[in-house]
Every structure is written in C-alpha cells, then in structure tokens.
Homo-oligomer: A and B are copies of this chain.
Amino acid sequence: MAGKRNDADKDVIAGDSPPSSRVALSRDRILDAAISFIDEQGLPGLTMRRLGERLDVEAMSLYRYVGGREELLDGVVARVIDEMHDDDDVISVPTDGWQDFLQRLAHGVRRVALSHPKVFPLVASRPAEAPWLRPPLRSLDWVEMFLNGLSEEGFDDDKSVGAYRAFTSFLLGHLLLEVAVHGADVGPLDVLDEATEPEQDELRPHPNVRKLRSALSEDHSAIEFEESLEELLNRIAMMSSAKTP
C-alpha cells in the first residue's frame, strides 16, 4: 500500500552540492541500515545518532520516518521475518502435505535466525502486539499462512491452534539457543573479551560439568533441529482435535 522503493529518480546528483548527502532517506533504507548495524555491532551499539551517522544524516532526520527508537526496533523485527518472502523454499500453501509445508516453514525461520543471529533475540523477546502473534512468527501474514495451510490440509480449528502453539514454542526454544551459541547478545556493548569462561577453580566443585564440558560444547544444532522437528511433526499428527473440556 504505502509506496515502496521508487522516488529516487528526480534530479539525481544535480552536480553542485557536495557528494555528501547521497540518495534520499526512506523508512526502508533506515530499517536496512539498522539491521546491518545490529548484525555487525550488536543491538546495544545501535543508537539513533550512530544510525544517522551511518546514513550520512543527523539523528534528528530519522524521526521523520520512524517515530522513535522503539518503533525502529519493531520495524526491524517485522522486516527481518519478512525476508522469508524471498525464500523460495518456503511455500505459502501446502503442495506435498502439511508435514512438508511445516518443514519448509521451520527451515525458513531457522535460516533468517541464523543469518541475523544478533537480531533474533529481538524477534524472540520484543513485546507481542497480540496474543495470536507469538514469536518467532511475528507477522500476521505468516500466521495467516500457517493457519490457512493447515486448514486446507484438513486440520480443524482446535488442531490448527494447537499446532501453532507447539510449532512456535519449538522454534523459539531451539533457535534462540542456537543463535546464542553462534554469539548473540542483547546486553553488553563490548564485542570483545569473549565471555570470560569459568575456569578450573569454578569447575572444581562441579565434576559432572567438568567431565562433560567438551561434549556440552559441541554444536549439534543442525541435526538436533532436524530430529526434534521430526518429532514435533509426529506429535502434531497425533494431536486430538478436541480439547475435551
């Protein structure tokens, strides 16, 4: 509805203004800049002033397009999950059964989580706009697609809702832990100092942790995701449709 990406063709680079003020500002450009900023520097480093700097503009100019820092972050969340629209492996309607449909959707969400590990915690923990917009599927479009797909596959209302709940909490738990390992953070500003590992001293009174330390550090996220997703789908398949109150 709101015009998207065409209004930069007027008197492009008239010729006498210094080459500083580049292409025109826009909400899209701002959100994109914010996302890559977080990808690179982490959320705590994102500042209205520094974001402006990155766009060759004073911070105050941003307010014409985004309303404030909070709204900016909401925009980032929305935009990041909407990247799934460009993912050809994610289909909008089941063609090979609901299991394949959900499988593709789950992997799509996982791909966006992994490509923006520092943004994903935001997707996970930003206050939801409504109870039916559960993270990480924070977009009416995607929830609609989810419910519509299952409905077309013969799920009744209760079963669709149950599947939605199970699907979202599955994704949230797995992906949040996976990006955490790949180095997310929503807290400190320092990219460095590598999270001072508890060393020998602290591990002495914890023999089991010490023994299993390296096993616990191995990253099997990919296979675990696959296997757990499989089991989730089985669980959904076996879900009774009525809640029998």
Across the interface, do B132 and A213 meet the contact criterion of CB distance under 8 Å?
yes
A141 — which chain B residues lie within 8 A by C-beta? 206
Across the interface, A208 reaches (CB within 8 A) one of B128, B144, B177, namely: B144
> CA of A235 to CA of B141 in the docked complex: distance in angstroms?
33
A135 — which chain B residues lie within 8 A by C-beta? 176-177, 180
Does A105 have its Cβ within 8 Å of any Cβ on chain B? no
> CA of A81 to CA of B88 in the docked complex: distance in angstroms?
42
Across the interface, do A216 and B161 meet the contact criterion of CB distance under 8 Å?
yes
Q: A109 to chain B: closest CB distance in Å?
A: 13
Across the interface, do A172 and B177 meet the contact criterion of CB distance under 8 Å?
yes
Does A237 have its Cβ within 8 Å of any Cβ on chain B? no
Does A115 have its Cβ within 8 Å of any Cβ on chain B? no
A231 — which chain B residues lie within 8 A by C-beta? 235
A172 — which chain B residues lie within 8 A by C-beta? 172-173, 176-177
Known: A198-B140, A215-B157, A215-B161. A176 touches B73 (CB 8 A): no
Across the interface, do A174 and B176 meet the contact criterion of CB distance under 8 Å?
no
Across the interface, do B140 and A196 meet the contact criterion of CB distance under 8 Å?
no
Q: A129 to chain B: closest CB distance in Å?
A: 5
A220 — which chain B residues lie within 8 A by C-beta? 165, 243
| Chain A residues near B (Cβ < 8 Å) | 70, 73, 121, 124-132, 134-135, 140-141, 143-144, 147-148, 151, 157-158, 160-161, 164-166, 168-174, 176-177, 180-181, 183-188, 195-198, 202-203, 205-209, 211-213, 215-217, 219-220, 224, 228, 231, 235, 243
A-B contact pairs, 8 of them (CB 8 A): A124-B124, A124-B125, A125-B176, A125-B184, A129-B195, A131-B181, A132-B209, A147-B208
